[in-house]
Structure 1
Amino acid sequence: MLDNLKDNLRSALKKIVGASDINEELINELCKDLQRALLSSDVNVKLVLEITKNLKERALKETPPKGLPKKDHIISILYGELSRLLGYSGELLKNTDKKRIDEKIINFHPDRQNTILMLGIQGSGKTTVVAKLARWLTKHGYRVGVIGADTWRPGALTQLKMNCSKINSIVYGEEENKNALEIVKNGLVFFKEQAIDIIIIDTAGRHKEEQRLLEEMRSMHTIVTPDHVFLIIDGTIGQQAFNQARIFHENAKISGIIITKLDGTAKGGGAIAASAATGAKVLFIGTGERIDDLEQFSPTSFVGRLLGMGDIKALLEMARSLEIQSDENQSKRLLSGKMTIEDFYAQMENMGKMGFRNVIENLPGLSNFVKDDHLDVLQEKMEKWRFIIQSFTKEEKRNPDSINESRRKRIARGSGVMEHDVKDLIKQYNNSKTMMKQAKGRQMHGLLRRFGLG
């Protein structure tokens, strides 16, 4: 995600980290590198100049706190300025627990049904995000209903029902009715009798120049009086997000922004910065095509990942949301170096559920050393390993060292792979076993348990 911006920022940081002397020339070079990195991600020029001006002034004038090296202080300044650029305003963000969402993120009324009006231009991925948001809310303990009021796009209701069927959310829609306002009224009446906490309303995609649709949006806002209005913005439009968000905000009082398609664009940084500049909080970002690929947005955590500092909190939230459970006995075996080959595969499988890239990207420092092509190879190997392990006998699972050449040939034939694939699995297993034995300690034990990897 945002690989170019990430690489450019980390390249700029390396000059600071590797410098023997921090002087004005080096600070100027850092600012130029930062400008190039942000401009290539389509961040507005004015915002770029502002952030680099602040960075230079603070880096040259501020005295580092006692005990903090100058270069570390400059990195912390960069971290803070980038976080502010992406919408951080100084408030603390808390962990998101079931049925308890930080009021600074989304505030729902506990004693009545809540409504969320979803807006966006056509092609922004709004209908897909409706299902993803329903999924996210469901995972946090809310009962969610959806009203399909996009009467303009052919197949919109069908797509919505198909997406929501995967998460068991009820969808109200009227195939033959082209009056969106009427559908919304009827839908609200329908859900009034249902045990639903939150109603999400999917609307037609509209453009800031389409007055008829904007009128419909204003009328719908009046009828619904929603608790929240979320604007869906396509991350590929970059800094154009500012004008788009501003027009929508003027017509419907946007309370939050969700940015989609960040996994496939170089302009995502510009879209986030532009959205944040409107004053509306960026609440979520879309990070992939899966129903679970909607991530609560935190400017500080996001910048930490861009700079290679990781985001442990995001990993823990990911493990919780995917309902990855730890196994106490498995954890003990892993840390004692007595893990079975099935333990090894379970560990790798849990990492796969969270996405190898996500795990590596969120572990501090590790993302700088693991290349994307290595992760692709690992993902391919995982598919083979599953079939290989299924071809093991019980004895071979207990003691993979007992696998000699004839057994290796049998396993390869039974799993449809080459012999060297079987050897590779056993080698990786033994390497991991040794590494885990060397990594004994409370900290590693706690980390494994919390990630659900042991």
Structure 2
Amino acid sequence: MAFESLSEKLQNVFKNLRGKGRLSEDDVRIGLKEVRLALLEADVSFKVVKDFIKGIQEKATGSDVLNSLTPAQQVIKIVNEEMISLMGSETAELKIKPSGEITVIMMAGLQGAGKTTTTAKLAAKLKKKGNSPVLVGCDIYRPAAIEQLKRNGEKVDVPVFDMGTNRKPVEIAKKALEYAKENHHNIVFLDTAGRLHIDEDMMNELIEIKDNVNVDDIILVVDAMTGQDAVNVAETFNEKLDITGVILTKLDGDTRGGAALSVRAVTGKPILYVGMGEKLSDLEQFYPDRMASRILGMGDILSLIEKAEMDMDSEKAKKLSQKIAKADFDFNDFLEQLEQLEKMGGMASILSMLPGIGGKSALPQVDDGQMVKIKAIIQSMSKKERLDPSLLNPSRKNRIAKGSGVNIGEVNRLVKQFEQMKKMMKQFPGMMKNNKKRGALGGLFGGKLGF
């Protein structure tokens, strides 16, 4: 997950500040020096870091902060506020034109940033909001680019318009607008060509499309794993095209996260979305306050609730919460929760959003691959055994072990942990009741974190 190293270092700085009680200007200065180093190591732009630290220092060394009853908390609050400001303060939304008008969105970026996949992800997200998008294959150079767009379009049930690879991209874009009008599509996504590096031909092609088609938004897709290079790319594209927003991809990878903290300050343009995985549903709206909260180890419960609501069946979650309240939870319920967990990106993804769980050292060791083995064990049980685990005698466990390809010790361990989990659930009577949002999380965590 992005920011792991940065998050750990910042939390260590704050831990040291909290341990001092009263703070002197020297304490703050030393702490901010460590924050500065952590940000530079995360590949945040030097100028951005310099301005960021300066802004914090001016506010954090005032007498109101240092003489307060909780100076360390005040400093952390200031760091949080400055980080939110750095990433844009307000959540930016794409403005879709009113009914009867067409919104044209040009997707730009270097080859390998995940532009074509991101285009389909964004189209799917906007379609869920009641729009009728169409994807347009304007990348006539990269082998199989249009085919990739078609495959992704099929997966998200969004049509693709293309004219092959023998027509100019600007001509394809013009014809796509005519197609959209005739077929009542209100959003046109132009998936343009990328290059391995920024070059004059690529820029001229994009400028030609912009000059000849009424483009409403130019969204730049950048690979967060390229660090400072991503910021340089964003700066160049913005100078040439005046982009309207940025989507950061691969933010779920082992990236230092500097791009997310720099790109807004350098370009003045908002981060709209972040790619958090390879699935076509793995595109999240970018909330500066939530991202700052996650980086500083304060969790992101709002995003977790939204994720649960999106991926979990609310009625099933409500029923499951009621079962948990009564400790009436069987292996069928557990299997269902495993499947819901997979939809939400796995246990590690969920735990990273909880307060107090920052980088790798703080994150409990969760092997999502183990979930596959657990599912196999449960699926090898009979219907009666799933409903009543007390039926699982040694003979039945041997049969289940053979059927799931594991040893009997793993079956015993699962059954024992499951029984322990049911006992623990008795401590949560009435928890998460009569609340749809909490119901979803109650179901999930009752079935998952307990295990």
TM-score scaled by length of structure 1: 0.89
- 1:176-191 aligned at under 5 Å gives the runs 176-191=165-180
Distance 1:367 1:349 in 2: 25
String of CA shifts for 1:323-373, please: whole Å, max 9, x gaps: 543423222111221211222232233223212122111122245798557
Q: Is the 8 A contact 1:116 1:229 kept in 2?
A: yes
Deviations 1:19-71 (A, max 9, x none): 33333333122212211110011111222122222222322215259997222
Query: For 1:119 and 1:246, how far apart are their aligned partners in 2?
Result: 13
Quick one: structure 1 residues 361 and 312, their matched pair in 2 at CA, closer, same or farther if it must change by over 3 Å?
same
RMSD: 2.5
* Amino acid across the alignment from 1:81: E
Q: Which moved more, 1:359-368 or 1:440-449?
A: 440-449
1:9-158 maps to which residues of 2 (within 5 A)? 9-61=10-62, 63=64, 69-88=70-89, 91=90, 93=91, 104-111=92-99, 112-158=101-147
Answer whether contact 1:239 1:274 (CA < 8 A) is retained.
Answer: no
Distance 2:288 2:150 in 1: 33
Runs of 4+ in structure 1 off by over 6 angstroms are 65-68
| 1:380-391 pair list within 5 angstroms | 380-391=369-380
Q: Which of 320, 337, 345 matches 1:330? A: 320
Equivalent residues of 1:287, 1:293 under 8 A apart? yes
Percent identity over the alignment is: 35
Tell me if structure 1 keeps the 8 A contact 2:7–2:358. no
| 3-state SS of paired residue (1:262) | coil
CA shift for structure 1 position 236: 2.7
How has the CA–CA distance of structure 1 residues 370 and 350 changed in structure 2, closer, same or farther, with 3 Å as cutoff?
Answer: farther
Q: 1:257 maps to what in 2?
A: 246
Gaps of 5+ in 2: 447-451
Aligned residues of 2:351 and 2:363 also touching (Cα < 8 A): no
1:7 Cα deviation after fit: 1.9
**Partner Cα separation in structure 1 for residue 358 and residue 51 of structure 2:** 29
C-alpha distance after superposition, 1:362-392 (max 9, x if no partner): 122245798557222xx22221222221222
Question: 1:11: Cα distance to partner?
Answer: 2.0
SS for the counterpart of 1:374 is coil
After superposition, the Cα gap between the structure-2 partners of 1:78 and 1:440, relative to the gap in structure 1 and judged at 3 Å, is farther
The residue that corresponds to 2:449 in the other structure is none
Of the structure 1 ranges 109-118 and 312-321, higher mean CA displacement relative to structure 2 is found in 312-321
1:304 positional shift = 0.8
Q: Which of the residues 288, 295, 299 maps onto 1:299?
A: 288
Q: CA deviation at 1:240?
A: 3.4
Structure 1 residues 289-368: aligned runs within 5 Å: 289-322=278-311, 324-327=313-316, 328-355=318-345, 356-367=347-358
Matches within 5 A, 1:1-12: 1-2=1-2, 3-12=4-13
Contact 1:326 1:449 (C-alpha < 8 Å) held by counterparts: no
Q: Is the 8 A contact 1:231 1:254 kept in 2?
A: yes
Q: What is the distance in 2 between the residues matched to 1:332 and 1:450?
A: 11
Aligned position for 2:366 = 375
Q: Which moved more, 1:429-438 or 1:76-85?
A: 429-438
Determine the C-alpha separation between the residues in 2 that align with 1:176 and 1:207: 19
Letter in 2 for 1:336: K
| Alpha-carbon distance change, 216 to 363 in structure 1, aligned in 2, over 3 angstroms | same
Deviation by residue 1:385-441 (Cα, 9 ceiling, x = unmatched): 222212223332222133222221122122221112112221232232223221234
1:396-415 residue pairs with structure 2 within 5 A? 396-415=385-404
Tell me the alpha carbon deviations over residues 121-151 of structure 1, each in whole angstroms, 9 at most, x when there is no partner: 2222211211111122223332221000011
Distance across 1 between alignment mates of 2:393 and 2:65: 61
Task: Please list, as runs of the form range in 1=range in 2, the aligned pairs for 1:262-273 lying within 5 A after superposition.
Answer: 262-273=251-262
Which letter maps to 2:172? Answer: I
Give the SS at the match of 1:199. Answer: strand
- Residues 304 and 353 of structure 2 are in contact (CA less than 8 Å); yes or no, is this contact kept in structure 1? yes
Distance 1:67 1:345 in 2: 51
Aligned to 1:154, what secondary structure does the other structure show? coil
Greater shift after overlay, 133-142 or 303-312? 133-142
Instruction: Work out the CA distance in 1 between the residues paired with 2:21 and 2:103.
Output: 57
Deviation at residue 297 of structure 1 after TM alignment: 0.8
Give the drift of 1:442: 4.5
When residues 428 and 348 of structure 1 are mapped into structure 2, their CA distance, relative to the original with a 3 A threshold, is farther
Aligned residue-pair number: 439
Q: 1:445 to 1:400 in 2, by over 3 A?
A: farther
